[in-house]
Amino acid sequence: MNVPPSMPPYFQWIIDKRLAICAHPYHASHIRYLLEQRIQTVISINDSHSSGMPNHTRGELRVHNIYIPDGAAPSMEQCQQFVRSMDIARQRGEGVVVECTRGKGATGVLVGCYLLAIWQAPPDYVVNHLRLIRPITLETTAQEQQIIDFHKAIAPSQRHFYNDVNEPDSWDIDTSYLKTTPLATTNQLSLA
């Protein structure tokens, strides 16, 4: 029987055609959708009580299981392994989906660490970006801290795009309004 593709729950591209997040793709139609999107590698995050993707749904996908307790942050070693897995998938021209029960928490940490590695950006920029595009991504301060710690671990080997910026006026955009526009007061913000 030919099953039409359907998007897995909470599916979202983080980097178009390269990196996505979703909840467990438990149905054959979800796998068909992933394959149509050229996703061939699944990073499956499970706590010790779950078995991850059911075997009958794996099909043609490469599934890598990572065990992280619910609500916890991945270890430094798990973050580094994820970045290596992403590099391998990129070299193969494959997309990757990171999936867990709800597609947030530890999933967001792994994605944040990868964005740190490829963007060479400060951790607050990556955390804010993740919160902007997927507000549910990070659940705990320990998860945010892991992104900061990963940045500290890889920072010595990278030249960051913000090193040469000392003042906002040195940016290529007009920031003169920063010196003339008064900031909103707490009272004004509460009325908005």
Question: Whose CA is closest to 143, among 130, 158, 160?
Answer: 130
The answer to whether 96 and 39 are in contact (CB under 8 A) is yes
- SS3 category, 108: helix
Distance (Å, rounded) from C-alpha 76 to C-alpha 20?
21
Phi, psi of 40 (to 5 degrees): -125, -5
> Letter for the amino acid at 109?
V
Tell me if residue 113 is catalytic.
no
Q: Known catalytic residues?
A: 100
